[in-house]
């Protein structure tokens, strides 16, 4: 039972770290955390991969069906649940960015779905 709980918790932590890295790597230098411009950013990216493998292996040890189910849950369900909250955390609230975003045509309802925070080469024009 402890192996199952530990594996699930490790996968959740891996997903949090994965979302943090995915947003941080795509973010413009103004918004991206400074950690992504150092060796620690590489360690974070390697870290979520290691945590994913460890958590999945733990779940395979519990039961092979649980391990098989954990993989699509990690790649499809957890990003849908975690990434919006991580974006809100990393990009700040509407009130913090209101002056910039209103000029770009964003509203409080759609500013998290826009690409204003991405690096120039990743933006859709």
Residue 45 clears pLDDT 80, i.e. is over it? yes
For 55-101, what is each residue's pLDDT tens digit? 999 999 999 999 999 999 999 999 999 999 999 899 888 888 888 88
The reply to whether 43 falls in a domain is yes
The reply to whether 69 falls in a domain is yes
Residue 124 clears pLDDT 80, i.e. is over it? no
- Between CA 15 and CA 81 the distance in angstroms is 10
- 32 falls in which pLDDT band (50, 70, 90)? confident
The chain-wide mean pLDDT, for the chain, equals 92
Contact assessment for residue 33 and residue 18, using Cβ atoms and an 8 Å cutoff: no
Q: What is the mean pLDDT of residues 18-38?
A: 90
Looking at the 3D structure of the chain, how many domains does it have?
1
The reply to whether 106 falls in a domain is no
What are the angstrom distances between the C-alpha of 38 and each of 33, 42, 43, 44, 106?
Answer: 10, 7, 9, 10, 32
The reply to whether 122 falls in a domain is no
Name 118's bridge partners.
27
Name, in order, each residue with C-beta under 8 angstroms of 108's C-beta and a sequence gap of 6 or more.
Answer: 94
User: Which residues constitute the domain of residue 71?
Assistant: 2-92
């Amino acid at each position: 039972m402890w192996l199952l709980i530990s594996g699930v918790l490790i996968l959740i932590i891996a997903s949090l770290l994965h979302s943090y890295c995915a947003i941080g790597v795509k973010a413009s230098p103004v918004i991206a955390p400074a950690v992504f411009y150092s060796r620690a950013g590489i360690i974070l990216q390697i870290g979520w991969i290691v945590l994913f493998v460890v958590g999945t292996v733990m779940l395979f040890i519990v039961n092979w069906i649980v391990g098989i189910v954990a993989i699509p849950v990690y790649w499809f369900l957890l990003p849908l649940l975690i990434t919006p909250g991580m974006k809100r955390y990393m990009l700040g609230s509407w009130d913090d960015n209101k002056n910039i975003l209103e000029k770009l045509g964003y509203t409080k309802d759609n500013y998290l779905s826009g690409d204003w925070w991405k690096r120039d080469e990743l933006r859709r024009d």
